Amino acid sequence: MKTMTSRWMMMLMTAALLLGAVGCKGTDSRRVPVGETTRPELDDKRQLPVSLAEFQEGAANDILQALPTVRGISDTPERATILIGDINNKTSSVSTNDYEYVVSGVRSRLIRAQASRDKLKFVEARRRVENIASKERVATAPAPVAAKGEEIAWGGGSYYVPDYDANSTYGLFMDVYEIRRGKTGLYYMEAQLVSFATNEIVYSYRTETKQVIDR
């Protein structure tokens, strides 16, 4: 009787170990190259991540090549100020967060590129900087009486963040469109540099990609 009980116990323990191993196998994960497209991505109707990464790299490289010919940037001695503009997302399935990843990557590549350091400077959104500056009590020098800009009062003093010169300030904007027909989707992406002085689009980079779900 004890022998039978021991055997049953061993069988139950073995079964529990096997079930545990099967359960763990389902949660395993592995890293893959950024440029590799996985099966779950192919089964998803949304724009492939590799297309976003390719646009990010292509736009940054194209801007660097175009800088010597962009009016208002190439022909002025001071560096142009670049502000991150909005993203006009007209797709039906892709989150704007995905395209924020693209714009952020373009900005990072341009900041790091030697060719753009003498021509471009990127600034963070004022409200984001002010929030942390107010919290940590960081400020610029007290504002002169005749200074133009947004005054901020804290700590008993008056401080300001200087305005940007519209003639040398540009916005980096992005437009995205999706045309869907059943399991096939066409995606149009465009990055633009827009002059704040004239609203002129002084630079544009665009791509179109089409993808289909075979299953």
Q: Is residue 52 part of a domain?
A: yes
Q: Is residue 89 part of a domain?
A: yes
Q: Is residue 176 part of a domain?
A: yes
**The predicted structure's pLDDT at residue 135:** 78
More confident residue, 107 or 9: 107
Q: Is 21 helix (H, G, I), strand (E, B) or coil?
A: helix
133/137 Cα distance (integer angstroms)? 5
Q: Is residue 5 part of a domain?
A: no
Task: Compute and round to an integer the Cα radius of gyration of the chain.
Answer: 27
pTM assigned to the model: 0.74
More confident residue, 176 or 135: 176
Q: Is residue 59 part of a domain?
A: yes
Q: Is residue 180 part of a domain?
A: yes
**Residue 93, domain CATH:** 3.40.50
Q: Is residue 146 part of a domain?
A: no
Q: Which helix (H) or strand (E) holds 81?
A: strand 80-90
For residue 169, pLDDT beyond 60:
yes
For residue 145, pLDDT beyond 50:
no
C-alpha dihedral (47, 51, 52, 57), degrees to nearest 10: -170
More confident residue, 69 or 4: 69
Number of other residues whose CB lies within 10 A of the CB of residue 110: 22
Segments forming the whole domain that contains residue 177: 38-123+164-212
For residue 75, pLDDT beyond 50:
yes
Residue pair 150/160 in contact by the 8 Å Cβ criterion: yes
Q: Is residue 105 part of a domain?
A: yes
Q: Is 12 helix (H, G, I), strand (E, B) or coil?
A: helix
Residue pair 208/190 in contact by the 8 Å Cβ criterion: no
**The predicted structure's pLDDT at residue 146:** 44
Residue the block writes with tokens 């471009």: 120
In total, how many domains does the chain have?
Answer: 1
